[in-house]
Amino acid sequence: MIQDQLSRPLHDLRISVIDRCNFRCPYCMPGEQFHHAYQFLDKDQWLSFDEITRCARIFVALGVKKLRLTGGEPLLRPDMDVLVRQLAAIEGVEDLALTTNGSMLTQWAPRLKQAGLKRLTVSLDSLDPAVFKQLSGDRGKVEDVLAGIKAAGAAGFKRIKINAVVQRGVNDHAIMDLVRYFRGTGHVLRFIEYMDVGNQNHWKYKNVVPSRDIIRTIEAVYPLEYMGGTEGGDTNERYRFKDGQGEIGFISSVSHAFCGTCNRLRLSAEGKMYTCLFATHGTDLKEHLRSGTTDDFLAHLIRVTWMKREDRYSELRSQLRQSPQHLPKVEMYHIGG
């Protein structure tokens, strides 16, 4: 197990398999910037499934236990069940998960389950068809996502995580609709504080709804019991409904930063390592992967990258945002949330 400058172990690897998405969520990939003529990576710039699997094997040998597949929208990459099968076969992988916008789950869920995928996380910010359409950049239908979640449940996925990013004045009025819809289903709804990811979403602190306010809104109707926080490296503060109707979670990167236990490294679709969601630069693995270098050298590069890591953007957010050296951050769609 390797540790960084803040004694955080490398435990989770988030693998972005594609830089494209069929949605245009304004806080991640605003349609104005990422229009139909926008130049995304060419397919041969993506790491191949064999290159991803080789990297994952080396990361697991260095202590990684959990792999999460992300994008853009990972189910846009063809034959994802092939990659899932390859990663599931790596000895030492304890957890294999995928984050999706859910619009293609109905088609993919059974194949992903059969291939060995263990867990699913679906992004769903509103049940209101009009708000959902607006929040997907006029690209998605909420019915498709709800049907996808149903199909994933039927395919055997339990405790599906449902991630809802809450923005003041956009979807904060519909928090209780989501709560009522997912309570008692066995799936776990998590509210995420709106974050200044990337450089395109014109983030303002005043548009953040702190988790404590969301908890207060829910508790006025359904009393909650605290179950645990982010001490184990998880991003989620866990609660359960006192009436036994399941769990609910809160990811509070703005009001209650969890950098102290952050054990995640991100690998972008074109093979760069990023040590933070708000990183300003990445370390390239692809040129080495494609120049016949050894696994030992790749392991050395990963070890050095992690051991010198000292990222804690969310803890320093207000300071960093004011600093004149404020450099552009990597875009979230490039490395997965």
Which range in 17-25, 68-76, 163-171, 272-280 contacts ligand SF4 by CB under 6 A? 272-280
> 3-class SS at 209?
coil
Cis peptide before 72 (omega within 30 of 0): yes
Which range in 12-20, 273-281, 283-291, 321-329 contacts ligand SF4 by CB under 6 A? 273-281
CA 195 – CA 27 distance, rounded (Å): 8
Smallest separation (angstroms) from ligand SF4 to the CB of 190: 15
Which range in 28-36, 38-46, 171-179, 310-318 contacts ligand SF4 by CB under 6 A? 310-318
* Amino acid code (one letter) for 69: L
Which range in 77-85, 167-175, 197-205, 312-320 contacts ligand SF4 by CB under 6 A? 312-320
Asked if 311 is part of the footprint of ligand SF4 (rule: CB under 6 A), the reply reads yes
Nearest to ligand SF4 of 157, 278 (CB atom): 278
Residue 158 · residue 137 · CB < 8 Å: no
Asked if 197 is part of the footprint of ligand SF4 (rule: CB under 6 A), the reply reads no
Taking alpha carbons only, the member of 333, 336, 337, 335 closest to residue 34 is: 333
Asked if 19 is part of the footprint of ligand SF4 (rule: CB under 6 A), the reply reads no
Q: What per-residue string of b and e applies to 192-226 under the rule 16 or more CB within 10 Å gives b?
A: bbbbbbbebbebeeebbbbbeebbeebeeebebee
Nearest to ligand SF4 of 15, 84 (CB atom): 15
Smallest separation (angstroms) from ligand SF4 to the CB of 208: 15
Asked if 258 is part of the footprint of ligand SF4 (rule: CB under 6 A), the reply reads yes
Contacts of 1 (CB under 8 A, 6+ apart): 9, 10, 11, 63
Taking alpha carbons only, the member of 94, 87, 84, 89 closest to residue 64 is: 94
Smallest separation (angstroms) from ligand SF4 to the CB of 157: 26
Residue listed under structure tokens 């030492």:
92
Measured CA distances, 199 to 26, 158, 278 (Å): 11, 35, 10
Contact flags string 33-62 toward ligand SF4, x per CB under 6 A: ------------------------------
Q: How many of the chain's residues bind ligand SF4 (CB under 6 A)?
A: 11
| H runs (alpha helix) in 89-174 | 105-115, 129-135, 142-154
CA 108 – CA 104 distance, rounded (Å): 6
Q: Which two tokens stand for residue 104?
A: 């293609």
Residue 147 · residue 186 · CB < 8 Å: no
Asked if 10 is part of the footprint of ligand SF4 (rule: CB under 6 A), the reply reads no
Which range in 65-73, 76-84, 117-125, 274-282 contacts ligand SF4 by CB under 6 A? 274-282
Out of 93, 179, 314, 334, name the contact with ligand SF4 by CB under 6 A. 314
Contact flags string 151-190 toward ligand SF4, x per CB under 6 A: ----------------------------------------
Out of 46, 182, 313, 333, name the contact with ligand SF4 by CB under 6 A. 313
* Binding interface with ligand SF4 (CB under 6 A): 258-259, 262, 264, 276-278, 311-314
